[in-house]
Structure formats: C-alpha cells, structure tokens
Amino acid sequence: MLLSFSMANNGLEHDDVLHIDGSALTLEDVERVAHRRISRCELDEKARAAMESSRGRVTELVESGATVYGVNTGFGHFGQVRVDSKQIDQLQLNLVRSHAAGVGSPLPLESVRAIMLLRANVLASGYSGARAVVADQLIALLNKDVCPVVPRQGSAGASGDLAPLAHIALVLIGEGEAWVNGIRVDGAEALRAAGLVPLVLEAKEGLALLNGTQMMTAIGVLACREFEDLCVVADMVGALSVEALGGRTDAFEPAVAKLRPHPGQVEVALHMVELLADSELADRYGEERVQDAYSLRCIPQVHGAARDVCRMARQIIEVEINSVTDNPIVLEDGRIISGGNFHGQPVAYAVDMLAIASADLASMCERRVNRLVNPNLSGLPGFLAEDGGLQSGLLITQTAAAALVSETRSLAVPSSSDSIPTSADQEDHVSMGAWGAWKAWQAVANCRRVIAIEVLCACEALEFHSPILAAPNLRGFRDRVREMVEPLTGDRVLAPDIARIEAALLEGDLLGRGRG
C-alpha cells in the first residue's frame, strides 16, 4: 500500500547511537533525538579532529594580532570596535549573557532538544573555530536529558536565532535555567545533577553557539515530519469519506492524473485507487450521480499539492540541517570570512509553505466533515445521530473543525514577507523565520485535529452502512480507530474521542507504524 512518499533512511535501524559529524543528519534523526528515541549521541572522531584543526586557525589569528570580527571585536553595530586580547574570553561571556533576552512561554522540550542537536551538528562540521569540548557539552546535555529553558519569542531570524540559542548557551556555562526530571532549576544546579562542570568560553566560542538558524530549522523539522504523515492519513480518511458518501472512483483514474503529472497528484490518485479497490460502498449511486463535490472529486489535486509542498519544504530543511550557518566562518585555507549563512530566509520560505499547505488540507477535510454530518448532503441521519432531536450526535464536530480552519488560515499568513531592521540597521533585512516556524508547527497541529474529526465522522458514518464493510485496504485503518473510539450509542462527551485519535495520528499509530 502507498503509505508514504519518498522518505529518507534514518540510519538508526540497527544502531541507536547517533554519530554527529556535521554532514549526515536526516529529519528522522532529528525527530528521534527530539522525542528521546535513541540512547545517546556522540561526536564523530573525524568531526572532533576537524573542530580542533579549525580551533587552531582561530588561535593562530588571535596570536598574530589580526582583527577578526567576533573574535576580537564587538558584534553587529560594534563590529568596528577592537577588544583588547586580555578581554577576549570576557567578550564571549558578555555576548551570551546580553543576548539571552528571550520572552514568553518556554519552548516545548522536544523542540529544544532538536535545536541542541542541530547546533552541535553545525559545530561538528569544523568551520566554527570552536573547541570540540563545546560540542561535547551540548551533546552531554542531550545524553543526560538536561533541557535548557528557552523562551519562545525574541528571534527575528536575522543573525539566525540569537536569543533562543543564547538561552541554551547559558546552561552550558552554568547559568540560565533548565529542566531536569521535569523540575525547573538554575543552570548550575542542572550541570551538577548531570555530573558536568560549567564550560569556560574562549575566543569565538560564544558567537559559535549563537549564530545560526537552529530554532527555526528544528521546529521546521518537527512540523515537516508530522505533516508528511498527515498527508498520508488524509488520503485514507478521505477514502473512508468517499465510501460513506457513495462517491465516484473514476475521478481517481490514474490515466487522468498523468495528464497533469504533478508528482503528488499522480501519487494520491494511485493511492486512492488502491485504498478503494473492491469497495462495495463507493460508486453505489451509479449514473444517478455524474460527479461529486470538489472535496471528494479533487482529492488527488488538493492532497497531492500538499504532498508536493511538503516535499519541497523537506528538501530545503534537509539542506539546512547539515549546513554551516555560523559567522564568521573559518575556512580550511585559514581565512575567516564574515558572510551571511546565518540568514534564515530559505527556512522561512519553507515553513511558510508548510503552514499554507496545512491550512488548505485542513479546509478540504472540514468540507468533507460537513458533507458527512449534513443530512441534506449525506443521505444519512442528520449529524449521524440515531435519535436526532433528542440526540445531537456529531453536530458540534463540524463547528469545531470550522473554528480550527479559521484559526489555521490566520497562521498561514506568510511571515517571510515581513522584515523589521534590527541592530542599528546593521541587520536591515531579517527573515522572521522563527515566528514562521512556530506558526507552521501550530498549523500542522490544527490540521491534525481537523483530520481527527474527519476520522471520527467517517467511521461513524460507515456504521450506518453495516453490515457492509469498508474496502479491504481500509479495514485495518478503520479497525485501529475502533480500538480507541467505540461507535456512538447515544450522546457522549466527544473531546476525549477526538484527543485519542489526534494522539494516535501524532504517534503514527493509525498508519500501523509508530514514530519510535
């Protein structure tokens, strides 16, 4: 069965130790570390050697007396201010402290763990000029399950995600706050609990921890991976809705899809044909109904477009997770170049695309929910209630779905088209990628909830066709739903039903393959 589209091998099927080398991470690696599904991470030995070599070039430049941005100068607007060699370590400490200006509620722990992994991977590439011990400290926090408290707001995606990364760097040096065994403690106590000592930052190392796109990229990874699964489930629940409503299957004819050969459209058309094979419920109206509403007929076109957008976002994010986003960058020939690899625009565009696709996929699903519960459209009892009037059945589920869609459309407004200059106009064009990534993650979550509502409604609608069963290739999916949510026998509180289905979607359980 076409359960998924082009997924990379996560490299961890036979080895739950992740070797960090700066170049080989996958989205699946990041997701598994984020959710604590591997035993430990380790710095690759070749990466360790590359880091020490890069560090040697920084040391040579400091000793030569050359002026290098971020090594012996101030930052941003203060880049022209030379700092005395005796104050270089203090410069890095001051940088971390001053940039830890995040505000708002803390980021979820899984996103912070993903950020830490991605930052360690940048350092491991050997172009940041930091000692290997800096990456070791980050990795040790991951392995010891010490998670810095990182306020969600405060990054404009300019020189990367400066404020969020500064809050992580604080814990490395024994300051700031962290979560240890679910308890929020200060950074020094967190290090003691993990058997670690505070890191003393040297030349360039504070900047090496702060410059980069790791917050927006980490959240983008999680949003992308979750949306990939939702694209598959949307086909499956869409097929259930087609059956419940007696939809026509000729709209999914692969020969038609190939005449407009967008990859996602072709994939979804084939998937729908496979899912609905040998269905006794689809096509039951025969020639009486010559065509269906768009929410049924155009599943390949809309679901397929969502797949294609998700694939584009994955390609961009896959490049980013193994990219050097530091500044300045220490090249192998000894030059230290101050460039702009920290700018978040590629990721900002990618996450905006994810939010837009999530909003539209949710909208498509909500329209099918409406058709399932609306007796004027479904041919089924109103709101799928056995005793309409006394009972309300699934009436309010469509209202909830509509509310979610409206909210998600607001989240889909692109943030990457916005820019507010910062740092005395030194950073005069910023990406706003951090906000875009957060919106995308929330948009995906809302889409998941709308899909959960369609799953609930489609399975309930099929109950009215008993003893006729769902198509053979849909029965396993339907049975997994029924293991967690029983058919309605009367009005009951629906929120727990929706929550159970949503949790199963998040974990991949409804696809028969958890994310572990």
Q: What is the DSSP string of 493-504?
A: --HHHHHHHHHH
Helix (H, G, I), strand (E, B) or coil at 515: coil
Residue 292 has pLDDT above 60, yes or no: yes
pLDDT surpassing 50 at residue 286: yes
Asked if residues 346 and 316 have their Cβ atoms less than 8 Å apart, the reply is yes
- Average pLDDT on 431-458 reads 98
Digit-coded pLDDT (tens) for 134-187: 999 999 999 999 999 999 999 999 888 999 999 999 999 999 999 999 999 999
Q: Give me the helix-helix angle, 214-245 and 472-484, nearest 10°.
A: 110
Compute the distance between CA of residue 383 and CA of residue 71 in angstroms, rounded to an integer. 66
CATH code that applies to domain 219-511: 1.20.200.10
Q: Which residues are identified as catalytic?
A: 69
Q: CA angle, 158 as apex, 152 and 161 as ends, to 5°?
A: 35
Which of 16-25, 46-55, 330-339 is least confident?
330-339
Q: Token match 């980050």: residue?
A: 138
What is the reported pLDDT for 68? 82
Reported confidence tier of residue 467, pLDDT bands at 50, 70, 90: very high
Question: φ, ψ for residue 74 (rounded to 5)?
Answer: -75, -170
Residue 9 pLDDT level (bands cut at 50, 70, 90): very low
Whether the pLDDT of residue 270 is over 60: the answer is yes
Q: Are strands 17-20 and 40-43 parallel, antiparallel or unpaired?
A: parallel
Amino acid at 111: S
| Residues 6+ positions from 421 with CB-CB distance below 8 Å | 427, 428, 429, 430
Ranges for all domains in the chain classified under CATH 1.20.200.10: 219-511
Instruction: Flag whether pLDDT at 22 surpasses 70.
Output: yes
Is residue 350 within 8 Å of 44, Cβ to Cβ?
no
Between strands 183-186 and 177-180, the pairing is antiparallel
DSSP 38: S
Rounded to an integer, the average pLDDT of 349-355 is 98
Q: What confidence category does residue 129 fall into, taking pLDDT thresholds of 50, 70 and 90?
A: very high
pLDDT in the model for residue 515: 58
Question: What distance in Å separates the CA atoms of residue 136 and residue 116, rounded to the nearest whole number?
Answer: 11
CB 58 within 8 A of CB 202: no
pTM above 0.85, yes or no: yes
Mean pLDDT on 457-471 = 97
Closest CA to 504 of 478, 487, 481: 481
CATH code 1.10.275.10 region(s) in the chain: 17-212
- Give the residue-averaged pLDDT of 408-436: 94
Q: What pLDDT is stored for residue 67 in this prediction?
A: 82
Tokens of 137: 């400290």
**CATH code for the structural domain at 17-212:** 1.10.275.10
Q: 11 pLDDT exceeds 50?
A: no
The residues, ordered by sequence, that sit 6+ positions from 215 with a Cβ below 8 Å of its Cβ are 107, 111, 115, 150, 155, 161, 164, 165, 434, 437
Bridge partners of 17, per DSSP, are: 40
Mean pLDDT of all residues in the chain?
Answer: 94
Could you tell me the pLDDT band of residue 514, with boundaries at 50, 70 and 90? low
